[in-house]
Structure 1
Amino acid sequence: MPKVSSDTLWELAAEEVRSREAEDGEEESGGTLVERTVFLMGSKAGGKTSILLRCLDRDEASKPTLALEYTFGRRARGHNTPKDIAHVWELGGGSSLSDLVQIPITPVSVASLSVILILDLSKPNALWGTTEKLLEVARSQLEKVFSKAQQQQQKSKPGARHQLFHSAARVLPKDYPDRELISPFPVPLLIIGSKYDIFQELDSDKRKVVSKTLRFVAHYYAASLILTSIKSESLMSKTKSFFSHLAFGVDKSKTMSCDSTKPLIIPAGSDSFSQIGAPPTTDVDIPSLHAKNPKDLWRKIYECVFPPEKASEQKELKDPAKDPQYSEPQIDAMRAQKDQELDQCKRNAAKTWK
């Protein structure tokens, strides 16, 4: 009898489990537990935790997210059936801790993974930079996971199906709007614009720039888009509907609003470049921008209206120990004392060397 390596046995066992889960997930009346993973990231202090708690129906005060935090939600599909589970990861610190995406985005989670990007509408100058940085890091990690899955598939027996790769790879329908002109995010993506109540106080022309730009970005990545506020029960109800679709497989919301004077609510696949129109070019000389592609053009026009944060300000956020939202008086006092002792030790050592 030929010897079979333990790695191969584990791969076959994992493939069998994933296959059964996929079959059970297709049966609405099935009694098998379904687990999904949702990864939240976005603007620093942008209201991610508050929105998440509302979506999970938890009546508790939100606290600043420390680096990367995990929680979960449950939902029953019907009577006498086990509750489905949503594993929820939340990344804190804006884009400063983006390297931590490798923890929630793994070969185990990617087959049922969705990503939610929450952007703080009250800080439009940081909006594009936060979006681009976080989505690039997440996409890079997803590509690494898919690449590893492909390598495993090539090593398996001829004709064998690698459930991880096939079930995780996102494929848009042939009739998806502007299918050849967009760059779909590898997994389902939801973009949430938070603090809409504060956003309404902006000048109407600037609100239009933000709204149209978010529509372009969402459509470019084949993502759903909603602008919301935790102070509005109606908007939070619609936000929860989008979240429940990703977390528990609930039917998609059919509500849609493309009016820039109102909160945008646009399910993925409902918009198009022709409906969005050209970038708002008020007081902007387009030829002088030297854009390489449509996305680059939108970015440059947006940054003409909302100049991005200075690099020096962004570098300061790289050290969570200096971030006010993570302050701990007793620990900070002890840290300051130890820093002083270290400086004194260095000075004494320098004198000794001389």
Structure 2
Amino acid sequence: MQGTRRVTPQGTLEGYDLIGDVHGCGATLGSLLERLGYHQRGGVYRHPRRKVIFLGDLIDRGPRIRLAVTIARRMVEAGEAHIVMGNHEYNALAYCHRAPAGMNREWLREHTPRHNRIIRETLEQYRDHPQEWEETLAWFLDIPLCLELDGLRVVHACWDPALVDELRRDHPDGRIDEDFLAASVRPGTREFRILDRLTRGTHVLLPEGVEIQSGDGFTRRSFRAHFWTRHPRTWGDVVFQPDNLPGDLERRALSDEERSRLSYYGPDQPPLFIGHYWCEGIPALPAANIACLDYSAVKFGRLVAYRWSGEQQLDADHFMWIRVPREEEARPQPWEIDFD
């Protein structure tokens, strides 16, 4: 999974433009790429000296999901971009794959009302394009869970060194297969631990009877925890989400068991880029060597990129973004989807 900076026909590769969770904001993605200096040639966005790395979660929720996937997939397949798998691509794979015999369910991800709601918009936008959806699912399965190249690391939610090493032992390129996918839906398996941590991060359970009414419309009984505080003491030391914890729970002490489940990514590690955590406001660095690029694009926030050119200490001035306009809420016309 290691890479080296290489020379392209246009010249030396200057660096990568990392783009956070698109969630179906395909028109805004096209606008951001144009702002970054990418232009379409042959139906593919290209830059003479740079490449894109997508951080996953191309699908669900937004109005131009097919467009977002088409842009990213064409770039990846043309060698103009890389991508890592997000939890929403993983959810789609599990939702649409039948469970093997003896598993006592029809689908790997059960079709509950909650799960149906998450993927509903994606399935609706692909409803009249079943072959395209099948090809998209096959492409999702070929997306690696993490990348390490040219001095940077990329994962959707959490770089857990032990679990990344465990993944690489059997899957050196970070790509899973259908057997791994089937095993990953069983809590307690190594496959579950790897996929859950790398694509969803760490969650800390709230006390019995306590819930968060999340800004995305879901009721949550846990909160998302980050992984860059060396000796966290309280819940407030690790919470990483826009929803506040109820009451005075930020002052609640982490138990030994909770602390043992947390990952840690130290300041001496290579630059790391993540998505997933639907931040809000002006993009900022949570740590000197970590950038989160998910700024709630689908909730009319910002679709964010970081322009990386080899620096080991990240610089907030390298963020670039486009505010997602409310016009993105409108469903596209057919000619807005098709490139050709």
| TM score, norm. by length of structure 1 | 0.30
Greater RCO, CA 8 A, separation 6+: 2
Which structure carries more helix by proportion? 1
Larger radius of gyration: 1
